Structure 1
Amino acid sequence: MISSTCMLNYTCIFASNSLEYRCKVSECDLGDNNREISYDQPWLKYALPLTSNGYEKCFRYASSSSLENQCDANSFNTTKLIGCTEFIYTTDEINVQTEFNIHCDDSYKLALIGSANSIGRLALLPIVGALADKFGRLRVAICCVLCCSTFGLIKSFSVNYTMYIVYFQLEFLESLAGGSSFNALFILVIEMSSFRKRPLCTSLLNAFGIFGGILLGLLAMYIHNFRYLLRAIYAPGLFVILYIWLVPESVRWLLATGRVDRAIKILERMAKVNRGTLNENSIKALRLQYSSNSKINATKKLNADHNENNLSMFQQIKLVVIKLGLRFLICGYLWVTCFFCFYVLSLTSTHIPGTNRYIGFIIVQSVAINGALSSAIFLNKFGRKKLIFCSLILSGLSAIITQIIPREQSIIVLILFMIGKFSITFALNVVLIFTVELWPTNLRSIIMNSCSMIGKMGIVAASFATLLITSAPILPFILFGVTAGQAFRITYIYAIH
């Protein structure tokens, strides 16, 4: 389920990405089917203006000859430009751009699709987190995945961009459900694992999520029609309904909400699967600790301690706002940084010079698995903050150095991409555990989703930052490096104080 959920995060990379294209010169590009016309032609230097980024995409020279198939230097008036109405592509892919004719001045519409996806993952996440705290992690996760799969399948039947704009709401709802399901599943896994096994479980969880991205790259390599690709990705999510019988609810959540009998049944099942038994004394201790009477006694004790503490109302509010508020803001900013850097590298991995766009994406995603798994080795040996320091600095430096290397050195650029992806995945994995461990069970889901909501701003920014890859290639990586450095600085100050 995690692999499927994370796979959905990258659908816009292949379904609504901008392909390499040029003007169709009707006098020379003969044929009605533009997808069968070759992109490279010997006469392009006569028909299209040359820019620093290659041939002009949206304008061409006017023809000076009325004859067809006259494509030499004398056939075009280089003093007069005309706009393009048809386009030729380098590949046979069918995506939102080619299907709905989105080019030139309309290119912002592609970013709008990605932003709708990101904003959907941002909005209402705290509410979904509150629902998970109220009704259980598993129920909310299953409902979210079912909704996500349904909306995604409907989206694959869009017939024009107007319909896709109407489906802005579907894109929004689909991404909202997808983003919420990962958080619910993540907390479910964390709460089912012990403190020492928590880093390993988190690393494996993220590794499966990254594997979903690799699987998407492989599918996109062979399925070039975005409609079929979306259906292949979303359809398996409908089988998540089987998780009702296959996956148990979080025992910690059940105990925290007073469902002791159900929690004990799950623990007995777990013990039976592991060829053990649940000790009667342990069962009695659980019933005693989480019974309603013990909760009443704990509440009375808390009120007594509160009365003994002579803090004024203003002092209490100040304590909550300064300490807990600062903690929440720090977590939120770390999420923004990690998501921004993570998705900038993912989205720009299809533009690595000298590599196939699918291979580049798969390689960068594969490195992220190493980053997720290696965090399990270091998390129990070093502090969370120290690991965040080192990984953020390494990712920021690799992003900035990438722009110093000449484009001809594609191998070095790819290695730096891999280092950046490894380190930011490592940082993201640590930040996830760091956030979960800072908050109690009854607030964990809503705080996790709130931090995730703030973090999704980084994905929205990444969607627009990657538009600059053609006009100002250095800018997304400078933003990456500066953001990572600032996050390091804020975390360092928080650690000292």
Structure 2
Amino acid sequence: MSDKKADETDSHNDLDYVLSDVGEFGIYQIGQCIAMVLPIILSATYAVEFIVTSSTDDYRCAIPECEWLNNTIYDQNWLSHAIPFKNGRPKKCSRFGTSHQSAPDGQCPKSLFNESNVIGCNEYVFKTDEYRIMREFGILCDENEYKLALVGTVNNIGGFLFMPLTGLLSDKFGRLTVLIVGMVSCAIFGLIKAFVGSYMWYMVLEFLCAAVGTTTYMAAFVLCVEWVSSKYRILASTTIAATYPGGEILLGVMAMLLPNYRAFLSAIYTPALLLAFYFWLVPESTRWLIATGQYERAMKILKRTAKQNNREMSEKSMEIVRNSCTDAKGSGKNGENDCSSIIAIFQNKILLIRLIMCSLCWISVVFVFYGLSVNATKITDDSNKYLSYITTMAAEVPAALITFFMLKYIGRRTAMCCTMTIAASVTILSTFVPSHYTLIIRIMFFVGMCATSSSFAILYVFSAEIWPTGMRNLLMNICSMIGRFGSMLAPLAILLSHYKQNLPLLLFGSAALICGFIIFMLPETKGKKLPHTVQDAIKL
């Protein structure tokens, strides 16, 4: 009863009451959430497009003594005569030197080669018609393979460095502005990247594209969450989570249809230019407008919302908005997003520990998620690598449904613990399954990705619920920025398979297990309102 009375006393700041008055999740909010589908799908595609552009293909040395270089195929019945084999496959950059004998026309006998003389080569035959940056920039042979792994690492470094800045800009200038500018800029850099002629410039543009586009999903997510009341927060967030894998599946489909990386990049980045029209089509977050004291803009959007939802905005709601905007202006903090408020986070022990624990959870979840995503193209033979990727990413769709019910009935911390423990279990157990049991490995990867995706969706909701409105986007971006350490390490962790095949999976499983325990150091937010002020956040 005391909590109820406290809520009534603080009703002048109850923004959930305002949203329930104009329609908590009516036609207007549904329309705005639908408008977020395009940027969410595109941001998902851009986050992992390096998996396609930096993918490898099987290749071998060309043998001009036995084949015409402009008309040849990868598999030949005489390969074992001309090229040393490793693990049942021809070595990529080695071949046998020739003996002094000449080859009969149309034949390639074993006697033509000297197996004691292994030499390198500078011409190659590729297994497929895929033309990725590996072939464009000549990134061949084991000693250069790190350059392909660096593409993913540089992508994540770009996101890591710019996340706090874009989060601060989002809290300063609005979620919608950062979303549109980020998406359009990312499209421009991505289209330029498709046609550069050097590895160095490609990496520069990879960095810039990630830097400006990395927080577009976060901005879209916060917009959707802030458009609705606490009652529909789980529904809105899980709907977004169910939309996200559409971008990853689209990535796999486009990779299969467009083997040339230039056409592939052009196709996925061009649609983002359409987001320039969102300045006139999509409204700003009313919570952010109120938190920054912009009464006129907030009232205009709320009245439009009420009209399209066939509701009437009451005098009490107008008074709540007026009081909240007046408080924001009177405090001189514009929704608490100034430097002094950020310092307050680091001066408060409760919020500082919360920030550290939240960041550790982000590192673990991101490391596991991107690690399994990159590894998804390697769980079967290369001819099916994109099919493997698509089926593994499709695990995120049922994950969103599972997330909805888990958040609704068992709370955030328990849900995170359950999903990460499941992810850890199947990932570690998969290392004991013989490689020829392809179906079992696919199923285990599917379950692992489903659990990890569910954890990711829960973490987004959780991260949005533990910070105040004026700093929500900034602090979520700080946690996500630190989480980028996980995505930087994931592509490099895959390289450890050269030393011990299952070592990357053991690392991913261990990280998931650790996260399952760390989550209990954060406050449970199930059934609680979004904190509007720093004091609201401390009281969670």
Normalised by the size of structure 1, how large is the TM-score?
A: 0.91
**Alignment pair present for 1:172 and 2:210:** no
**Alignment pair present for 1:427 and 2:455:** yes
In structure 2, relative to structure 1, the CA distance for the partners of 1:280 and 1:349 (3 Å cut) is same
Residue pair 1:196, 1:380 contacting (<8 A) in 2 also: no
How many equivalent pairs are there? Answer: 474
Q: What letter is aligned with 2:264?
A: L
SS of the residue 2:117 aligns to: strand
**Structure 1 runs of 4+ off > 6 angstroms?**
316-319
Name which of structure 1's ranges 5-14 and 350-359 shifts more when overlaid on structure 2.
350-359
In structure 2, relative to structure 1, the CA distance for the partners of 1:296 and 1:442 (3 Å cut) is closer
Residue pair 2:290, 2:328 contacting (<8 A) in 1 also: no
- The root-mean-square deviation of aligned C-alpha atoms, in Å, is 2.2
Aligned to 2:185: 147
In structure 2, relative to structure 1, the CA distance for the partners of 1:407 and 1:296 (3 Å cut) is closer
Alpha-carbon separation, structure 1, partners of 2:332 and 2:379? 62
Name which of structure 1's ranges 135-144 and 341-350 shifts more when overlaid on structure 2.
341-350
Gapped regions of structure 1 (runs ≥ 5): 300-315
In structure 2, relative to structure 1, the CA distance for the partners of 1:296 and 1:335 (3 Å cut) is closer
The Cα of 1:288 is off from its aligned counterpart by 2.5
Per-residue CA deviations over 1:320-348 (Å, capped at 9, x if unaligned) read 45322211111111111111111111111
Alpha-carbon separation, structure 2, partners of 1:153 and 1:446? 28
**Alignment pair present for 1:115 and 2:142:** no
Alpha-carbon separation, structure 2, partners of 1:219 and 1:297? 49
Per-residue CA deviations over 1:411-457 (Å, capped at 9, x if unaligned) read 00000000000000011111111111111011111101111111111
Alpha-carbon separation, structure 1, partners of 2:328 and 2:345? 32
Per-residue CA deviations over 1:149-193 (Å, capped at 9, x if unaligned) read 00000000122xxx2312322111101112121111111111112
In structure 2, relative to structure 1, the CA distance for the partners of 1:405 and 1:191 (3 Å cut) is same
User: In structure 1, which of residues 255, 259, 264 is the aligned counterpart of residue 290 of structure 2?
Assistant: 255
Per-residue CA deviations over 1:447-496 (Å, capped at 9, x if unaligned) read 01111111111111111122344553311101101111122232346679
Residue pair 1:335, 1:454 contacting (<8 A) in 2 also: yes
**Alignment pair present for 1:359 and 2:387:** yes
Residue pair 1:348, 1:469 contacting (<8 A) in 2 also: no
In structure 2, relative to structure 1, the CA distance for the partners of 1:213 and 1:20 (3 Å cut) is same
Alpha-carbon separation, structure 2, partners of 1:227 and 1:293? 49
Aligned to 1:310: none
**Alignment pair present for 1:281 and 2:316:** yes
Q: How does 1:221-300 map to 2 (within 5 A)?
A: 221-292=256-327, 295-296=330-331
**Alignment pair present for 1:381 and 2:409:** yes
Alpha-carbon separation, structure 2, partners of 1:166 and 1:82? 32
Alpha-carbon separation, structure 2, partners of 1:297 and 1:420? 48
**Alignment pair present for 1:23 and 2:61:** yes
Q: How does 1:160-239 map to 2 (within 5 A)?
A: 163-239=198-274
Aligned to 2:479: 451
User: In structure 1, which of residues 73, 79, 85 is the aligned counterpart of residue 110 of structure 2?
Assistant: 73
Q: What letter is aligned with 1:45?
A: S
Name which of structure 1's ranges 352-361 and 430-439 shifts more when overlaid on structure 2.
352-361
In structure 2, relative to structure 1, the CA distance for the partners of 1:150 and 1:298 (3 Å cut) is closer
In structure 2, relative to structure 1, the CA distance for the partners of 1:296 and 1:87 (3 Å cut) is closer
Alpha-carbon separation, structure 2, partners of 1:196 and 1:399? 35
In structure 2, relative to structure 1, the CA distance for the partners of 1:47 and 1:237 (3 Å cut) is same
User: In structure 2, which of residues 345, 369, 375 is the aligned counterpart of residue 342 of structure 1?
Assistant: 369
**Alignment pair present for 1:467 and 2:504:** no
The Cα of 1:223 is off from its aligned counterpart by 0.8
Aligned to 1:487: 515
Alpha-carbon separation, structure 1, partners of 2:219 and 2:344? 30
Aligned to 1:476: 504
Residue pair 2:293, 2:329 contacting (<8 A) in 1 also: no
Aligned to 2:13: none
Alpha-carbon separation, structure 1, partners of 2:345 and 2:220? 34
Alpha-carbon separation, structure 1, partners of 2:144 and 2:52? 18
The Cα of 1:70 is off from its aligned counterpart by 4.8
Aligned to 2:400: 372
The Cα of 1:318 is off from its aligned counterpart by 11
Alpha-carbon separation, structure 2, partners of 1:198 and 1:251? 15
Name which of structure 1's ranges 184-193 and 228-237 shifts more when overlaid on structure 2.
184-193
Residue pair 1:288, 1:294 contacting (<8 A) in 2 also: no
User: In structure 2, which of residues 6, 19, 42 is the aligned counterpart of residue 4 of structure 1?
Assistant: 42
**Alignment pair present for 1:89 and 2:130:** no
Per-residue CA deviations over 1:189-209 (Å, capped at 9, x if unaligned) read 111122121122111112222
Q: What letter is aligned with 1:329?
A: I
Aligned to 2:51: 13
Gapped regions of structure 2 (runs ≥ 5): 1-38, 335-342, 525-540
Alpha-carbon separation, structure 1, partners of 2:492 and 2:162? 22
In structure 2, relative to structure 1, the CA distance for the partners of 1:47 and 1:372 (3 Å cut) is same
Alpha-carbon separation, structure 2, partners of 1:214 and 1:297? 46
Aligned to 1:322: 349
SS of the residue 1:79 aligns to: strand
The Cα of 1:84 is off from its aligned counterpart by 2.2
Alpha-carbon separation, structure 2, partners of 1:298 and 1:332? 26
Residue pair 1:200, 1:373 contacting (<8 A) in 2 also: no
SS of the residue 2:283 aligns to: coil
In structure 2, relative to structure 1, the CA distance for the partners of 1:79 and 1:442 (3 Å cut) is same
Per-residue CA deviations over 1:18-75 (Å, capped at 9, x if unaligned) read 11112222212x2232xx4211111111222222363222211111145355522222
Aligned to 1:51: 86
Name which of structure 1's ranges 57-66 and 185-194 shifts more when overlaid on structure 2.
57-66
SS of the residue 2:231 aligns to: coil
Q: What letter is aligned with 1:406?
A: P
Q: What letter is aligned with 2:350?
A: K
In structure 2, relative to structure 1, the CA distance for the partners of 1:192 and 1:410 (3 Å cut) is same
Per-residue CA deviations over 1:386-424 (Å, capped at 9, x if unaligned) read 011111111011111111111111000000000000000
Alpha-carbon separation, structure 2, partners of 1:44 and 1:182? 48
Alpha-carbon separation, structure 2, partners of 1:149 and 1:344? 25
User: In structure 2, which of residues 470, 493, 516 is the aligned counterpart of residue 442 of structure 1?
Assistant: 470
Share of identical aligned residues, percent?
35
Residue pair 1:341, 1:484 contacting (<8 A) in 2 also: yes
